[in-house]
Amino acid sequence: MTLLDHPRTARTTDRTPAAAPLAAGAPAGTPSDVAAWVAEVAELTEPAAIHWCDGSTRERHDLLQLLVAQGTIEQLNPELRPYSFIARSDEGDVARLESRTFICSEHEIDAGPTNNWREPSAMRAELQGVFRGSMRGRTMYVMPFSMGPIGSPMAKLGVQVTDSPYVVVSTGTMTRMGTAAIEQIALGADWVPAVHSVGAPLAAGQQDVPWPCNDTKYIVHFPETREIFSYGSAYGGNAILAKKAFALRIASVQARDEGWLAEHMLLIKVTSPTGKAYHLAAAFPSACGKTNLAMMAPSIPGWTVETIGDDIAWLRIGADGRLRAINPEAGFFGVAPGTSPKTNPTAIDTLWGNTVFTNVAVTDDGDVWWEGLTSTPPAKLTDWRGNPWSPESGTPAAHPNSRFTVSARQCPSIASTWEDPEGVVIDAIIFGGRRATNVPLVVEARDWDHGVFLGATIASEQTAAAEGTVGELRRDPFAMLPFAGYNMGDYFAHWLEFGRRLRRSARVPRVFQVNWFRKGADGSFLWPGFGDNARVLQWMVERLEGEACAQESPLGSIPTADGLNLEGLDLDEARVEELFAQDREALLAEADDIEQFFATFGDRMPAELVRQLELLRGRLRA
């Protein structure tokens, strides 16, 4: 027998309540297919107990107290940070593990060159070995969850099992987890099964460690059968499987098959001084300012930005023919370093309490600190490893990828429509990355296909959110390189086809590309960024309304000399020109790099994007 190998239809058609012995303590009304699957996982992993999560406040409180007792988390000073906690991970378990993330499609070509592919039956046999007895001595928690508002036609359901109470608490923040989700499954909703174990079984009487994990790690996806398995890591998206594993890798395959988009995008509502609202979706690689944009406090009078989501968006053509989107998540899993009252005051206000921090530093009075939070670090701290720290230590006090996990409901800028079950209408799509050169502050695509080309050619300097050399430039199309669950050439084709469907049904959203991070010859940032990024959003909105002028450039339309609102900024004319300068020779060299990248997809690469590249070269040589 291979790993949990039974017909997919057994999980999608049997909605009769489970018999008591099979349900392993399942609550009344649990569908038989869910209970049978849980029983099968339990037989393989051999937990000491099974707990079916209801998602209640009492359950969360009990789990937090259990984690404190186990030494996994410590409660912060309740007077400074009410009901908040600090977790310190194992030093080898601090980031997404792209090298250990696998797409096990039936055919290797369907995974594509940007994914790690393994033959499905061989991987199932391998996982069978590592999961056998992996939960001995631990409790297996069963977490039914909804991605998206309960009952939304755009929502998707899942059930994750885990032997980590830290993962339960995190999943309870990031999803609608508990009784309401299992009730939706009982009504007939399809569901994605996800199995997670830290891979650290306990023998009788064995002392546990604060952060159990295993040096051997797997994050495995079976796209055809919509299954997820994760082993060895308790960190972030490696273990909170509803997040990247489901909401992007598996959901992107569902979206391709069902005709929608599952994207690594923030969602914001922008309101102009006239009171008219616009909704924008934006794709940025991790740690490139997504949360700052999602929670922006505009520096220009009369404009407001409200948050709908900071990381993932699911987009569909609605019944009215318009492009609509939801944030499938219920919380924020944000990068702490660099977040400050200057860069993101809204995020700071969101973190006032009820927050779990991971791998940040702790002050002597029991509050949190990380690099960038204040201009001057405290004289003494406890660092993310739990060791004494001072500015002379020579090491970061907080891990560069340290995080906060907090409910989206706490965000002061959360839009009243953030849980609209029908989704919000999308007026524009933005792509961006962290580029010191070549890419202007803002460019508007000529049309949808050109916009897909801009998305497909995003490149960004590597950050600490994933494995790799920090600062190295890598292509990250649509900010989805680590997250597309199938061949990215087919993914590009799906975007092009989606645009054709949009053209038949409604107005196609405008597409823009931005770069807040361009640097001058002295190495300093040319653009002030943060709240002043609202000036770029203003230009986009004015373009939507036909009020702002633009001039053509090889890369697309850019603001005219007086098109961007620069009032109150100390930017001289030369600096503004440098923000939009396009070095034709450098861009032609980059076009060669794009050609090489496109070539990796072989005959799966859409001809339209190859044509867009040749059109770009023609404009650069004109």
CA distances from 431 to 262, 289, 335, 528 (A): 15, 12, 20, 19
Give one DSSP letter per residue of 498-517, joined into a string: HHHHHHHHSPPPEEEEE-TT
> What is the C-alpha to C-alpha distance for residues 580 and 559, in angstroms, rounded to an integer?
9
CB 405 within 8 A of CB 332: yes
CA angle 350, 162, 44 (to 5 degrees): 170
> What is the C-alpha to C-alpha distance for residues 348 and 342, in angstroms, rounded to an integer?
10
CA atoms within 13 A of residue 333's CA, in its CB half-sphere: 28
Please pick, among 53, 288, 411, 549, the residue that the annotation labels catalytic: 288
User: Is 53 a known active-site residue?
Assistant: no
Q: In what order do the strands lie in the sheet with 388-389?
A: 368-369, 361-363, 381-382, 388-389
CA angle 181, 184, 186 (to 5 degrees): 115
Q: HEC string of 558-609?
A: EECCCCCCCCCCCCCHHHHHHHHCCCHHHHHHHHHHHHHHHHCCHHHCCHHH
Residue 180 CB neighbours (<10 A): 15
Structure token digits, residue 550:
């633009």
Question: How many helices (DSSP H) and strands (DSSP E) are in the chain?
Answer: 18, 32
Burial class of 366 by CB neighbour count within 10 A (0 to 12, 13 to 18, 19+): middle
> What is the C-alpha to C-alpha distance for residues 531 and 19, in angstroms, rounded to an integer?
57
Residue (of 204, 237, 207) closest to 101 by Cα position: 237
Q: Which residue has the tokens 């885990």?
A: 162
Residue 387 has what DSSP assignment? -
CA atoms within 13 A of residue 38's CA, in its CB half-sphere: 33
CA angle 421, 422, 426 (to 5 degrees): 125
Residue 365 CB neighbours (<10 A): 10
| Residues with catalytic roles | 288
